């Protein structure tokens, strides 16, 4: 009898112990658990602004809860993790308009963050919405939406955050994953109108309306939005008294460009040299040396004004830092979205189980003074494009630059 009782007790203990064993990780959990290691080994200094323990805890929590999350919630969790490294790390991210194994979806609007709010600057199939200011999405005030989206948006600084914010605010997976919408979304506007929109594939929106790096579309013809397909558009304004360079991409050699600019700028009749990098979101920071050399010549730099903005990013942010440090140019506009010194040159990490593409910075570019941790190169004359300016076709940044004494 005693032997039988002991056998039963042993069976019960063994059974209980077996039931307490954790289930083996799912393939999705395995992928997410290895992600933190991959990001840490890829990035040269992942924990520059976030403690390693904080990052690891958030990554572990996401992996542990993954089987109970919807894909939308996983997208939000991964975007939050990717943006966690913080300032000067705008290359480490999950971008909605990247090509993902499973495409993301966007409500068919292009939004822009003006000083007085998010406005529709373009739409697909609802052109009447252009010019309206968004006040709520599915009843959630737009300011609350922005604060919920904020931790998902990569950035070097606040200017860069405002550049990319509209893409995340209009991404269906983001809004669903945050619990703001369930499917179709009702956008409310300041004029009291509403529009219920169905999401479409992100590629349809980017190819039609453009994503954040693309120039804004307008029926007007302001100088800064002319000849946008020309990465080095050099012309004169005001009857030849102003030399204007729209420097849109830092990808091509600048030797010939620099010589042409110098030939124009040295003319006695020229009173201002304007280099506009508001549409320049980067490229190769080894290509602009000849241009920088010419801009630093006394005959040019005493006339020089540099126009910067939120989409001045990556190698263009390095260019701004070099011009600021190496010339007497006055900087006009918004601070560049790219920090003077920043983490860049991202590597692509596929997340096959979730169907996303993650980018992680692989190098550090130091263009500010040694040890410079500034998130932005400050402007000398702050000027911001307002909604009223944009929809009227005005460019207050260029106007202010030309009015400088």
pTM for this prediction: 0.93
Largest CA distance in the chain: 114
Residue 368: predicted pLDDT: 82
Residue 19: predicted pLDDT: 53
Among the residue ranges 20-24, 139-143, 174-178, the one predicted with the least confidence is 20-24
Residue 61: predicted pLDDT: 98
Residue 21: predicted pLDDT: 72
Percent of the chain with pLDDT over 70: 95
- Residue pLDDT, tens place only, 175-195: 999 999 999 999 999 999 999
Q: What is the mean pLDDT of residues 139-147?
A: 98
The architecture in CATH of the region 223-340+376-403 reads Alpha-Beta Complex (3.90)
Residue 70: predicted pLDDT: 97
Nearest to 307 by CA among 219, 223, 230: 223
Per-residue exposure over 14-49, b if at least 16 CB sit within 10 Å of its own CB, e if not:
eeeeeeeeeeeeeebbebbbebbeebbebbeebbee
- Residue pLDDT, tens place only, 370-384: 888 999 999 999 999
- Rounded Cα distance, 112 and 187, in Å: 15
- Residue pLDDT, tens place only, 88-130: 999 999 999 999 999 999 999 999 999 999 999 999 999 999 9
How does the average pLDDT of the chain come out, rounded? 94
Residue 15 scores a pLDDT above 50: no
């Amino acid at each position: 009898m005693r032997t039988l009782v002991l056998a039963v007790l042993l069976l019960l203990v063994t059974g209980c112990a077996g039931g307490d064993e954790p289930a083996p990780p799912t393939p999705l959990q395995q992928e997410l658990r290895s992600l933190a290691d991959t990001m840490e080994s890829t990035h040269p200094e992942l924990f520059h602004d976030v403690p390693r323990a904080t990052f690891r805890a958030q990554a572990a929590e996401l992996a542990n809860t993954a089987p109970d999350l919807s894909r939308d919630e996983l997208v939000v969790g991964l975007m939050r993790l990717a943006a966690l490294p913080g300032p000067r790390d705008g290359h480490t991210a999950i971008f909605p308009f990247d090509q993902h194994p499973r495409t993301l979806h966007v409500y068919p609007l292009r939004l822009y963050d003006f000083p007085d709010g998010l406005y529709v600057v373009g739409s697909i199939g609802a052109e009447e919405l252009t010019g309206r200011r968004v006040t709520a999405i599915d009843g959630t005030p737009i300011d609350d939406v922005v604060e919920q989206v904020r931790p998902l948006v990569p950035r070097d600084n606040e200017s860069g955050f405002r550049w990319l914010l509209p893409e995340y605010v209009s991404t269906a997976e983001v809004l669903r994953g945050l619990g703001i919408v369930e499917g179709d979304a009702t956008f409310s506007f300041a004029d009291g109108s509403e529009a219920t929109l169905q999401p479409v594939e992100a590629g349809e929106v980017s190819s039609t309306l453009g994503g954040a790096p693309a120039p804004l579309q307008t029926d007007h013809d302001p100088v800064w939005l002319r000849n946008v397909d020309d990465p080095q558009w050099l012309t004169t304004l005001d009857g030849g008294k102003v030399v204007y360079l729209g420097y849109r991409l830092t990808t091509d050699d600048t030797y010939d460009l620099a010589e042409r600019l110098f030939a124009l700028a040295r003319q006695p009749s020229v009173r201002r040299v304007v280099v506009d990098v508001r549409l320049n979101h980067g490229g190769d920071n080894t290509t602009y040396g000849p241009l920088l050399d010419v801009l630093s010549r006394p005959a040019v730099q005493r006339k020089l004004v540099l126009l910067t903005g939120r989409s001045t990013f990556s190698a263009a942010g390095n260019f701004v830092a070099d011009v600021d440090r190496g010339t007497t140019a006055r900087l006009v506009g918004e601070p560049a979205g790219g920090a003077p010194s920043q983490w860049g040159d991202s590597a692509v990490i596929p997340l096959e189980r979730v169907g996303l593409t993650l980018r992680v910075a692989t190098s550090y570019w130091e263009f500010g003074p040694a040890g410079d941790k500034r998130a932005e190169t400050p402007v000398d004359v702050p000027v911001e494009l307002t909604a009223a300016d944009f929809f009227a076709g005005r460019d207050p940044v260029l106007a202010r630059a030309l009015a400088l004494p």
